[in-house]
Structure 1
Amino acid sequence: MQTSRFAPLLPALAVLGSVTSLAIGTSYAKHLFPLIGAQGTSALRVGFSALFLLLLWRPWRWHTSRVDGVAILRYGLALGVMNLLFYMALRTIPFGIAVAIEFIGPLAVAMFSSRRPIDFLWVGCALAGLLLLLPLSGGPALDVAGVLYALGAAACWALYIVFGKRAGHLHAGHSVSLGVAVAALVVVPVGVAHAGTALLQPSILLAGLLVAVVSSAIPMSLEMMALKRLPKETFGILISMEPAVAALWALLLLHEQLSGLQWLAIGCTVLASVGSAATARRRPPPAAAVVT
């Protein structure tokens, strides 16, 4: 049957769909910046995402110990600050470049957990990509504040992974819904303080809901489906396409033109991420799956 022939491709298409949906949603979100700022846009995205996940998973059904509560609190704080800093970076640097810089966070976590010689090759690729984005390379200058915000988001992404693993024994719906709720408690007050009553305009609320669905709810749902059907290494390779996909959609939807050096820098980041995932040391399956 035709269905069975293409069935193995579905998880890979789900990852591609997740990355594409995230890129489209974030590109659309940038159009809200002139109206409510990056802070207000981030508040709507995270706030609506938290409401959606709380209603979907109803985490109050599960018992949360004090230790797990602390882990979820740290996980949520890292997630909230990461989202806010990333949107702040998008104000002044291209989307694809911001994603490439942010990817340094999970790459650093992967590299520090392994000291094999092959990993130094991927470290070199990631560093080469970062250096190509700096003015020293002779390419177009990037806004310093935007780069610093993106680096801050990268650090928060690394912490998000570390703290997420500490809560990895919990059901994904339990930890993720509570974690995003904590993130909303961080981001929403900042957005309200910046944008004020502009956030309550019906058209703005509708746009914020659309951003939350396209850049959070759909990608997370597709990723959870793919994670159940793909080896961790394969999932890591596919998700590594995100910087390149982001740059392509930003070119199409935001008309963000990148130089040849900047495309090369994104390519180095993608290569480092793909290589790290492809050569990751295979370990025996843990007692409980970890979804971050």
Structure 2
Amino acid sequence: MKYLVSVLMGAMSYGVLSTIVVLAYGEGYQLGEVVGSQLVTGFILSWLLVLYTKLREKRKQGRSGSVSTAAIKISPKLTWKHRLLLMLAGAPTVVTGLLYYQSLRYIPASFAIILLFQFTWISVLIQAISKRQRPSKVMLWTLLVLLGGTLLAAGVMEQGAATFNLLGILLGLLSAVSYSMFIIFSGKAVPTVHPAYRSAWMVTGGLILLCILFPPYFLFNGLLWGPLLVFGLLLGFFGAFIPPVLFAIGVPHIGEDMAGVLGAAELPVAVLLSSFVLHEQVSELQWLGVGLILLGVIVPELHKVMRLGIRRLGTR
């Protein structure tokens, strides 16, 4: 149960981000400042976790007097090729953040998170094209449910498509594409390395890319030592630090399929906060759409879990 809760809390942490970003925009901060403060905080916290991990392993080695198998796994020999791969794998997270956060300038946060959640079918489409395999019937039905849920949750049925900002919609969909690429690349980038090291180097790569795109003037002009510091700490804590740590703890014990089910908790959290904190209007029909999207995400993953369970029972 504690591993299930760990992954669930990690997913819910992601749902907090859009509300914090909108509040930061309300204070007059720009895109580069918001994302930059988030990554600086995530960078510091991630490397502090690496330092803590190293110190803890040294203590264990000192008590046992020998290097354990766990210590070898936690303190791998990272080459610069490995570091470069991890930094490249972290780059899509920055692109996702930039696109997603910029979309919040044009469309409501409750709509932006729905567009970001289209990564569920976009990632399936990308993998189907790369492997030259047709999606299964279950996945095709899932895509139809997701499409219907998206139309309802976005309020298209009530307000019409003409009321939405096309640039905001495009940015939101591009953030979903970028997030899909991150999921695909991050799972393949040096998977044997301890999560603390992987996370730290991926955040480092993201920070380097962001500094190229948006020079971090806020670090030197005194802007950071105001409300931006609070927003940066919150975004870094809930976005760049807590979820990777909690996922690293829970996913190995519950499996990626169940983690995908629990990961859907991000959507209702984001919509709830948009409604209660930002006072965005979310109708009953839109909540029905959110429910359909969750159904479209959860059912295929539960189907995989059930099939795997049946196979295991058959082998006993």
Tell me the TM-score normalised to structure 1 length: 0.81
Asked if structure 2 preserves the Cα contact closer than 8 Å seen for 1:139 and 1:259, the reply is no
3-state DSSP of counterpart to 1:256: coil
- Tell me whether 1:79 sits opposite 2:103 in the alignment: no
CA distance, structure 2, for counterparts of residue 21 and residue 242 of structure 1 = 7
Q: Determine which of 104, 108, 111 is the counterpart of 2:118.
A: 104
**Counterpart Cα distance in 2 of 1:279 and 1:199:** 50
State the 1:261 CA deviation. Answer: 4.0
Match of 1:129 in 2: 149
**Aligned: 1:178 with 2:201:** yes
Q: Is the aligned partner of 1:169 residue 2:192?
A: yes
Distance (whole Å) between structure 1 residues aligned to residue 156 and residue 20 of structure 2: 32
- Distance in 1, matches of 2:233 and 2:167, equals 28
C-alpha RMSD over aligned residues: 3.0
Task: Determine the C-alpha separation between the residues in 1 that align with 2:117 and 2:17.
Answer: 18
TM-fit CA distance, 1:136: 6.0
The answer for the alignment partner of 1:4 in structure 2 is none
2:7–2:263 CA contact under 8 A, matched in 1: yes
* Residue in structure 1 matched with residue 242 of structure 2 by the alignment: 218
Aligned-partner SS, 1:279: helix
Distance 2:141 2:101 in 1: 30
**Aligned-residue offset at 1:71:** 3.1
Matched-pair contact (CA < 8 Å) for 2:76–2:193: no
Whether 2:21 is the aligned partner of 1:24: answer: no
Structure 2 residue aligned with 1:47? 40
What is the CA distance between 1:142 and its match in structure 2? 2.3
After TM superposition, give the deviation of residue 90 of structure 1 in Å.
Answer: 1.9
Q: Which amino acid aligns with 1:37?
A: Q
For 2:63, the equivalent position in structure 1 comes to none
Task: Indicate if the aligned counterparts of 1:39 and 1:88 stay in contact, CA closer than 8 A.
Answer: no
Amino acid in structure 1 at the alignment position of 2:46: L
Is the Cα–Cα contact under 8 Å of residues 22 and 109 in structure 2 kept in the other structure?
no
Contact 2:154–2:286 (CA<8 Å) still a contact in 1? Answer: no
In the alignment, which residue of structure 1 is the partner of 2:276? 252
State the AA in 2 paired with 1:68: H
Which structure 2 segments of 5+ residues have no match? 55-74, 310-316
Deviations 1:205-259 (A, max 9, x none): 2431233123332333322222133232222111112211210122121112123
Extract unaligned runs of 5+ from structure 1: 1-7, 285-292
Assess if the C-alpha contact under 8 Å between 1:80 and 1:182 holds in 2.
no
1:15–1:95: structure 2 CA closer, same or farther, 3 Å change rule? farther
How far does residue 176 in structure 1 lie from its aligned partner after superposition? 1.8
Distance 2:254 2:228 in 1: 38
SS at match of 2:30: helix
| 1:273 is the counterpart of 2:266 | no
Aligned-partner residue type, residue 136 of structure 2: R
Q: Distance in 1 between matches of 2:152 and 2:32?
A: 29
Counterpart of 2:237 in structure 1: which amino acid?
A: V
Rg: which structure is higher?
Answer: 2
% identical aligned pairs: 20
The amino acid across from 1:174 in the alignment is: Y
Structure 2: how far apart are the matches of 1:162 and 1:217? Answer: 20
- Judging changes above 3 Å, is the alpha-carbon distance between structure 1 residues 96 and 135 closer, same or farther for their aligned structure 2 residues? closer
Give the C-alpha shift of residue 170 in structure 1: 2.7
Tell me by how many angstroms 1:160 deviates.
Answer: 0.5
1:188-267 matches, within 5 Å, as 188-192=211-215, 197=221, 199-267=223-291
The answer on whether the counterparts of 1:71 and 1:166 sit within 8 Å (CA) in structure 2 is no
Q: Please state whether the residue corresponding to 2:282 is helix, strand or coil.
A: coil
Find 1:118's aligned residue among 116, 138, 142.
138
Query: Which residue identity does 2:20 align to in structure 1?
Result: Y
Where does residue 3 of structure 1 map in the other structure? none
> How many corresponding residue pairs?
276
Residue in 2 aligned with 1:5? none
